[in-house]
Structure 1
Amino acid sequence: MSSITLGQTLSSVTVRGAARIDAISAQAAKPSGSNWDHGGSGGKEYVLTLGSGEYINSMEIHWAKKGTHTRVFYLKFVSNKGNSVSAGTKTANSATVKAPKGFQLGGFYGRAASAVDQLGAIWTRRGAKPALLTDRMGTGWYGKRIRNWVGPTIGSNSDTACYRQTEPYNSSKLCPAGYTPLGDSCIAQCPLAYPVKCYLECIPQNDDCALEIIQKSVAVVAAVFNVATAGIFGAIFSTYKHARRYFFCGANVVGVIRSLVYYIRFQQTTAPQGAVEEILAVAYQSDVVAVDLPVAICHCLGIHVPPTLQFTGIVMMIVENIVKQVIINGDEILSSGQNVYKLLSNVSAVNSSHTSVDELQDLMDTKSTCGYQLKRLTDHVILSVNNIRNTTPRAKIDDIRVQISNSRLVQKDIPAATNNCMNELLSYKTKQAAFETRDLLRKTFGVIIEQLITTATTNMGKFVAMEQYFIEVSNLGLTMLAGLDPTRIIWLASQFIQPTCGPTSFIGEIDDGSLYDALGLKTVDEAFVGSYGAWKKKGDGMVNIIFKSIDTKDVTVLIHSGGDKIAEVDVNAGKTVAWNSTVAKLQDNVLYLDRWRPNIIGLKGSGGGSLKLWVPRSSKGGHLTMHVMINVS
């Protein structure tokens, strides 16, 4: 089920059989190269090749016992044009299933080893349009926005367990987002990679808590976040001091100009075009001119970024001249690295060298914007934390942590900017590797935010040298990120990230898609295999789960959210049962299903399989529908 793509068509169906069915295969024409083989190598091969506009709309199946096991003995597939393929031997037990109107055969589900034991047809709507990761989902200050999906990698565990991160309450006895109260402190909810709660630990999907108590993790043993990530700013700043200022200056300004050109074009296409002065007035209302460009110019000049963002006259004079030139000659400036340096030279921001011009040209030729997006985001992270400290000077670390964890920056901006690096990552990485890189970048921002919150404090929880500290980190601003394309960003991030067991974070709001793509649905073993469904960002706020049993025994499904059991659902053999909740109750947590089934002496026990997925928040209500298969296992 997880490999089915809406809109795909089959080019052929192959059946192998003699006395019974040995194997079944389907070849997809679109997307090309997809092939599904089930069963062994015995029997005679029969192939039906489908022509243009032809599809399978009927399946006849016969079954019987062979020894103590049920086997499929006969199969026949018929197309909408009357062509067919069949193999095997007919029996007394048979059924014919036909596609609903407007549907076609898209794939199979069932059981097979050296022969086919069980088989079902997956019908897909003809002409349905698949949701693709790279679909355009609107625009932002950086340009095109693609789908934000959980993807397949964030739920992958790197060890056998992890200790759950703990943080103190804030002044109002509140926990940061992703944490729950535990005695005198807050403890992290189990993340997607380790969704099973085991006292003060979290363990991987399908694992057993009793067994884990005996064995402790190795790589994820750091319970204190700062221990695992100490020195991130020192390490980056050390690298920055040895970097070439001219190159990083140019790279920063290129990013700002690209963003400014996009912003100005948006204004010109949504409002009447005016004189340079009128467009300049509009531009000055954007963060690009109010924050990003002045910060970039300070970096170029080698002067401090003031904590209050009240820039000197020379900085604002340079900013005004650059903005005017961008309004008049934006495309021409971005046509070459030499033109960028000419602009900076004319406004007295930098003196370039031949080497730095060549390096900037190489970066511009890659059309990379990912590095600049991340650098801009880092500036805003620093300024956001600084603003909280300035407006609430008596706020404790824990107050700042709670406020930041629930801010737009964490809930929306970081997920969006890191996700849009996927556009570039997918141009030279597999989808799996691109998701891994994006997830690593998000963890990097978690490290940066935590150290910004905690570094400027003494053991007494009081701030020391706050102004000097923020002058340093503001001038740092991860300036060198702007000069990196994604091929080197992954290296930078990997230098500072150690696996920890904090809550799943920086996922943001998720766009429409199948549960496998959008919410990272994953089943282990056979209990729930074949489950499927869809997530919609806009909806009525409901979570509808439909349990369909093809089991021979009554079972109980345990539903967990964030590691805590929230419901038990009894599903009798062969029955269908519905369970409903809301997005608001389950959002920002892992939904985890475990099944309890009677053993040979009638006692119920876990094992046999599990299912997990992420339930996101949605400002538009959201709607989650999941069909959960209850299989014999």
Structure 2
Amino acid sequence: MMSRMAIQAIHAVTYFLVLNVFFVSSDLSDIQLSESFGGPHGDDFSDENDVSAGQIIGSITLHVGERCHGLELQVTAPVAQTFTHGGPGGDLNTLTLNAGEYITSMEAQWDKHDGHTRIFYLNFGTNTGKSVSGGSMTDSKSTVTAPEGFQLGGFFGRQGDELDLLGAIWTRIEAVTPAPVVDLPGTVAPADVQDPATKPPGSTTVTKRATQLSGSFGGPHGDQFSDLSSVKSGQKVKSLTLHVGDRCHGLELQIAEPVAKSFAHGGEGGNYKTLTLREGEYITSMEAHWGKKDDHTRIFYLSFETNFGIKVSGGTKTDTMSIVSAPEGYQLGGFFGRDGDEIDLIGVVWSSIEVVDEVPVSALSADEDIQLSDVFGGPHGIAFSDINSIKLSQTVSTITLRTGDRCHGISLGISSPKDAMFSHGGNGGEEHTLTLAPGEYITSMEAHWGKKNDHTRIFHLNFTTNAGHSISGGGTTDDKMVVTAPEGFQLSGFHGRSESEIDQLGVIWTRIGAKDLELTDMPVGGNDTTGISIRNWVGPNVASPSDTACYRKSVGFGSGSVCPLGYGNDGDDCLAECPLSYPVRCYAECIPQNDDCALEIMTKIGSVVVVAFNLATANVFGEMLALAKATTQAIKCAANIVSVKTKYAKIVLATVEGIVKQAITNGDKILSSGENALNLLTGSGVINSSSTTVDELQGLIDKNSSCGWELKRLTDRVVYTVNDVRNNTPDAAVNDIRVTVYSSTIVLNDIPRVTNNCMGELLASKTMSAAYETRDLLRKTFGVIVDQLIEKASTDMGASVAEDEYMLEISNMGLVALSAVDPTGIAYMASQFVQPICGPTAYLGEIDDGTLYDALSLTTVDEAFEGSYGSWTKVGDGVVRLIFKSTDTEDVTVVVHSGGNDNAKVDVGAGETVIWESTISELHDKNMYLDRWRPGLFGLPGSGGGSLLLWIPRASEGGHITMYVRINVS
């Protein structure tokens, strides 16, 4: 068998040969186009299809006056022809070329005339130093020169009776005959010598998508726009025009095929710069620079480049910039972002160069397997919904009504997949129950409502099954309505409002035979690692706060004022975006869901004011003396509490610390036998030894459990990856290393994947909540390891995770205890400022398909958004679609926050349905937080009443979110 070294040598030679053939035949194509200058008026023209390499130019003539009316270019060989553009007005200035003389530069100057941008002045220079020019000079000007070995061969632009826009077509001076391409034998490595480390796990079929979205750059101001729904695969882009001055005012993308159309965004100010594409040319990269203007983040500079190396750019460069390139086989096909009279935020819609027959992305369950009826009744009581408790595969076994003159309560009994009871309202009235037979389900509800003590209540209910059975109760009224299940659906739960009686009621219908996506269902393609593979969902513990607030972690800028993933530019440095556990931004702090920033500030200010007041009253020592007995008793009590708590906390610390250290560093040894694993746990004081426990552990190991081995392997790779970045860029600053590592594959994919698969094994012996908690602890530990390696090139393997949390807890506990005996309030004041430092939510990875409640940790607090639901898919069109459905009696404004920043405000009228859309690209790797402003006392708007929170993940395959946002009276 051929040696690996020999194969690599053949590869190198082959690559060199192919590279040379490529450069001879295709590098620096025979025809290139310059940038174009002027405005978007007049008719298009181009000599591109008529020019050729090796042609000889005889002369160039300008028709000029105060502006450039027209021009003529005479070609003498290989075919005599004349390219004429514009009008015949003005004086004629002609330059005749000698043998071996070529036009190699063009200077253009442009300005406004009668509201249209026109070419005012032109100057052409040759390789021998001669020139011809004419027209009036302006402040807007630019010069383009021919690439090495090229000359002016023709023009493209826009014209009428004058020249409105002009660009040069450069042609190769010498015609080149491409060398024949020779197939070289033996240049492909045989399959049996491929490096196993480079082989992808399993066999994967990749389906190409019609469009993909780039990242987005800029700020959260302006109105949202997106060309995504109009961009098609296989489309041909005709031209791109930038409207630029000191900043980017606007842009326009013209599509020629399959349907002529134009995507225009921003304003019309500034100068116009146009890039016209020729056959086979595509825009393949965008460079964007952004900065602050009047406290708004704006796009200051844009540059676009084609696959032929032609660029169009404009604006003012800033220190904050980024470049995005098209995936292989894609081109720029449109844009998305935010705009007003300028461009505030911009991202690229990449479209497939070839036509792609893509299957439309459908929502997982939100609009296929679940439907909600209207609600009937009044706006009183407390909002409720069974939406997040329902299982699509559940079996309804009973329905119970508690009725008298009105409906006091209702209960729905579930027999599978596990016993459950959905109960709403009070316990009054007489109880009636209908038991359903196997295969029987409820298909209709009749509701009657009326007034009681000025409150609208449900008076009468009647439910009917597919078998013709029914149950009813309460007094009938004139206001009534019957709702029936859509074809193939059944009643599975309720939504509405209730307290001691039912005030409002609607039905949740689910599709018969629909299946739930469970955590333990194997995702398509698995998680590509050894061990039990489960769905990677956000989980319930990530959003659990441990304090009343946290301080946002700050780090320095990387080069070009770039912040690492999860951090935002705060002007002086990079501040962490508010994490899921503290999603509400409060200046330099983040606070838990539904908390109020003003109240948080007042609590801290209040503690300082109390101290000032107490100190100002003097006689502190007299008060202490007067309370000597109470003080002594309180101190003793506090001391006992603290010591007991401290003792307990130390045990917990030692246990957690020991298990985490051992699991990460010696996982393979621990899981080599049941006895070793048992020794670890009994030595840590977690469990007591028993033969049953030994058998269970040995059974886990007999299943080829490998969590410990994977964790050890991952730790080695983390250390190697971070140190490799350091070694490859030895002079790089710590902040630059952080930017690079935070966006690396090991952080974005590997750590989330391995820790999630460990959770799959933990589920065999732990509750789901405990398994999630352990997974999140492992991710937090790896986060500390990564940060320590970045900052110090060494790590304590995460021991500081538990220790830091322990020290915070003890510090706060001690201060609170001391505050009981401190009349100055200083100890209490200090306790208000002792709180954790929070970084961004990280190491979640790409999230597998699921409901928003399961997959993205959708959480509502209080009533405002109770009953909201939806779905997430990894593969999709990159759209976030929120469908606001109001049952409120007032018009409200919903505020959409992203990572703690205001992103949008959506007005929703009483009883209306409003759709709002954004993109995964703009919102990913941040929490989405909704609150709403509603008229309150004296008609003044307030944001109380409830909130909604979920995670927006990254998605390499587009992703899609559909969320039905319920807006309730609260």
TM-score interval for Structure 1 and Structure 2 normalised by the shorter chain: 0.7 to 0.9
For residues 59-138 of structure 1, what are the structure 2 equivalents within 5 Å?
Answer: 59-137=445-523, 138=526
Checking the alignment, whether the CA contact within 8 Å between 1:165 and 1:187 is kept in structure 2 is yes
> Could you say if the C-alpha distance between residues 28 and 337 of structure 1 is closer, same or farther in structure 2, counting changes exceeding 3 Å?
closer
* Alignment correspondent of 1:269: none
User: Tell me, what secondary structure is at the counterpart of 1:23?
Assistant: strand
Counterpart CA distance in 2 for 1:253 and 1:16 is 60
TM-score between the two structures when normalised by the length of structure 1: 0.72
Matched, 1:26 2:442: no
Using the alignment, how far apart are the partners of 2:567 and 2:499 within structure 1? 45
Is this contact kept in 2: 1:444–1:496, CA < 8 A? no
**Matched residue type, 2:489:** F
The one-letter amino acid of 2:563's match is C
3-state SS, counterpart of residue 939 of structure 2: coil
SS at match of 1:184: coil
Give runs of aligned pairs for residues 142-291 of structure 1, distance below 5 A.
142-216=530-604, 252=668
Deviation at 1:360, TM superposition (A): 12
* Equivalent residue, structure 2, for 1:455: 792
Change (3 A) 1:533 1:362: closer
Question: Where does residue 56 of structure 1 map in the other structure?
Answer: 442
Contact 1:76 1:85 in 2 (8 A): yes
Structure 2 equivalent of residue 566 of structure 1:
903
Alpha-carbon distance in structure 2 between the residues aligned to 1:210 and 1:584? 31
Structure 2, unmatched stretches of 5+, are: 1-386, 606-653, 677-692, 807-835
* Distance (whole Å) between structure 1 residues aligned to residue 695 and residue 500 of structure 2: 59
| Distance in structure 2 (CA, Å) of the matches to 1:362 and 1:602 | 63
Partners of 1:443 and 1:497 within 8 A in 2:
no
Q: Name the amino acid aligned to 1:252.
A: D
Distance apart, 1:109 and its partner CA? 1.0
Q: How large is the RMSD of aligned CA atoms in angstroms?
A: 2.9
Distance in 2 of aligned mates of 1:112 and 1:362: 47
Contact 1:375-1:477 at 8 Å conserved across structures: no
The worse-fitting range, judged by mean Cα deviation, of 11-20 and 492-501 is 492-501
Aligned residue in 2 for 1:506 = 843
Q: 1:91 to 1:370 in 2, by over 3 A?
A: same
Query: What does residue 630 of structure 1 align with?
Result: 967
Q: Write the deviation string for residues 186-227 of structure 1: whole angstroms up to 9, x where unpaired.
A: 00000011111111111111111111113359xxxxxxxxxx
Cα offset, 1:399, TM superposition: 1.2
Q: 1:216 to 1:158 in 2, by over 3 A?
A: farther
Using the TM superposition, give the Cα deviation of residue 31 of structure 1 relative to its aligned residue in structure 2, in angstroms.
1.9
Partner of 2:427: 41
Q: What is the one-letter code of the residue matched to 1:562?
A: G
1:595, 1:607 within 8 Å by CA — same for their partners in 2? yes
1:55 and 1:105 in contact (8 A); partners too: yes
- SS of residue matched to 1:601: helix
Question: Residues 670 and 708 of structure 2 are in contact (CA less than 8 Å); yes or no, is this contact kept in structure 1?
Answer: no
Give the CA deviation at 1:517: 0.5
What does residue 584 of structure 1 align with?
921
Task: Name the structure 2 match of 1:593.
Answer: 930
Residue in structure 2 matched with residue 264 of structure 1 by the alignment: none
Higher relative contact order, structure no. (Cα contacts within 8 Å, ≥ 6 residues apart): 1
- Aligned partner of 1:31: which letter? P
Counterparts of 1:33 and 1:126, CA distance in 2: 19
* 1:3 equivalent in structure 2: 389
TM-score where L is the length of structure 2:
0.48
Contact in 2 for aligned 1:337/1:361 (Cα 8 Å): no
Residue 719 (structure 2) aligns with: 382
2:400 is paired with a residue whose SS is strand
Q: Which whole-Å deviations, capped at 9, do the CAs of 1:525-564 have from their partners, x for residues lacking one?
A: 1111011100011111111100011111111111111111
- The residue number in structure 2 matching 1:366 is 700
Distance 1:394 1:576, change over 3 A: same
Query: How far off its partner does 1:3 sit?
Result: 0.9
Cα gap change, 1:360/1:379 in structure 2, threshold over 3 Å: closer, same or farther? farther
Name the CA distance, whole Å, in 1 between partners of 2:559 and 2:849: 38
The verdict on how the C-alpha distance between 1:155 and 1:617 changes in structure 2, with shifts beyond 3 A counting, is same
Is the 8 Å Cα contact of residues 532 and 761 (structure 2) preserved in structure 1?
no
Structure 1 residues 505, 94: CA separation in 2 closer, same or farther (over 3 Å shift)? same
Cα pair distance change 1:417/1:552, threshold 3 Å? same
Q: 1:252 to 1:113 in 2, by over 3 A?
A: same
Task: Report SS of the residue matched to 1:134.
Answer: coil
Contact 1:588 1:614 in 2 (8 A): yes
Q: Deviations over 1:465-524 (max 9, x none)?
A: xxxx6xxx6xx979xxxxxxxxxxxx9964565753100000110111111111111111
Residue type at the aligned position of 1:557: V
Which whole-Å CA distance do the structure 2 matches of 1:206 and 1:243 have between them?
39
Q: Residues 363, 451 of structure 1: CA spacing in aligned structure 2 closer, same or farther, 3 A cutoff?
A: farther
Instruction: List alignment gaps of at least 5 residues for structure 1.
Output: 218-234, 256-333, 339-358, 457-468, 479-490
Counterpart of 1:375, as a letter, is: K
Identity %: 55
Paired letter, 1:134: T
Q: Residue 532 in 1 paired to residue 869 in 2?
A: yes
CA 513–216 in structure 1, closer or farther in 2 if over 3 Å, else same: farther
CA apart distance, 1:336: 9.8
Give the structure 2 partner of residue 314 of structure 1: none
Query: Take 1:561 and 1:377, find their aligned partners in 2: how far apart are those partners?
Result: 31
SS in 2 for 1:452: helix
Alpha-carbon distance between aligned partners in 1 of 2:604 and 2:772, rounded to the nearest angstrom = 28
2:812 aligned with 1:396: no
Tell me, in whole angstroms, the C-alpha distance in 2 between the residues paired with 1:515 and 1:9.
22
- Inter-partner Cα distance in structure 1 for 2:561 and 2:927: 24
1:415 has 2:415 as partner: no
Q: Which residue does the alignment assign to 2:355?
A: none
Task: Give 2:955's aligned amino acid.
Answer: S
Aligned counterparts of 1:200 and 1:94: Cα–Cα separation in 2: 53
Tell me the distance in 2 between the aligned counterparts of 1:575 and 1:189: 33
Matched letter for residue 189 of structure 1: E
> Using the alignment, how far apart are the partners of 1:122 and 1:569 within structure 2?
26
C-alpha distance in structure 1 between counterparts of 2:395 and 2:722, whole Å:
52
> Greater helix share, 1 or 2?
1
How far is 1:132 from its partner? 0.3
Residues 429-440 of structure 1: pairs in structure 2 closer than 5 A: 429-440=766-777
> How many residues align structurally?
484
Give the Å deviation of 1:32: 1.8
Q: Which moved more, 1:619-628 or 1:602-611?
A: 602-611
- Is the CA contact (8 Å cut-off) linking 1:58 and 1:79 kept in structure 2? yes
Query: Which has the larger Rg?
Result: 2
Q: Partner of 1:160: helix, strand, or coil?
A: coil
CA-CA distance at 1:361 after TM superposition: 10
Deviates more, 1:414-423 or 1:587-596: 414-423
- Give the AA of the match of 2:600: E
What is the CA distance between 1:615 and its match in structure 2? 0.4
Closer, same or farther: CA 41–336 of 1 in aligned 2, 3 Å: closer
CA distance in 2, matches of 1:74, 1:402: 63
